Amino acid sequence: MATMNVSLPDALKAHVDDRVASGEYASASDYIRDLIRRDDEAKRKWAEYRRLIQEGIDSGVSNKSIDEVFDEAIARAREAGAKD
């Protein structure tokens, strides 16, 4: 595993120390690794949101009513395993 040294302002260092002291993380390294993993996941989700938005834009204007659109969306969500 690679090692990286990071300089933090006192307020951020205190925040990291508080999170470790709370018992939620075993060390500052564990906390930082978790933040990086969460950041990476958020980046992937935003990329998917942008892709879906572009897909919607590219699909053009629908001639369906809003009720038809919602009914189809609910049906697709249920097929994918979503619960009410």
Q: Is the pLDDT of residue 84 over 90?
A: no
Q: Is the pLDDT of residue 77 over 80?
A: yes
**3-state class of 71 per DSSP?**
helix
Is residue 54 within 8 A of residue 46, CB to CB? The reply is: no
How is residue 16 written in tokens?
């990291």
Average pLDDT over residues 17-22: 98
Q: What is the pLDDT, as a whole number, of residue 8?
A: 97
Least confident interval from 20-29, 30-39, 61-70: 61-70
Q: What is the pLDDT, as a whole number, of residue 46?
A: 98
What pLDDT digit, counting tens, does each position of 62-76 carry?
Answer: 899 999 999 999 999
55, exposed or middle or buried, with CB in 10 Å at 0-12, 13-18, 19+? exposed
